[in-house]
């Protein structure tokens, strides 16, 4: 099943989540970053709300994550390749 999902996701260039074995509390606390899933969910919700309200997404992310803009600029030249790096 995982191989099928992997082939499907790589063909369509998208992600396909799968559920693996459940972990107990001890494994969860020792192998994951605490609060990372809920933080990612809240950040995604903030971005979705910004899009819905047609407000600046970058400012929403900066405010949500208590960040700051370090520099601004324009990309003039970009080399894009569709081959994997070796």
3-class DSSP state of 80: coil
Relative orientation angle of helices 57-64 and 36-52, to the nearest 10 degrees: 150
Taking only the tens place, the pLDDT of each residue in 23-36 is 788 887 888 888 88
Name the residue with higher pLDDT: 52 or 17. Answer: 52
CA 64 to CA 45: how far, in whole Å?
Answer: 10
Taking only the tens place, the pLDDT of each residue in 52-73 is 999 999 999 999 999 999 988 9
């Amino acid at each position: 099943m995982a191989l099928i999902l992997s082939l499907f996701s790589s063909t369509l260039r998208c992600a396909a989540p799968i559920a693996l074995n459940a972990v107990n509390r001890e494994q969860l606390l020792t192998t994951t970053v605490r609060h990372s899933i809920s933080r990612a969910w809240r950040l995604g919700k903030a971005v979705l709300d910004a899009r819905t309200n047609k407000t600046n997404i970058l400012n929403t992310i900066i405010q949500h994550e208590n960040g700051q803009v370090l520099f601004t600029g324009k990309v003039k030249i970009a080399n894009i390749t569709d081959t994997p790096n070796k």
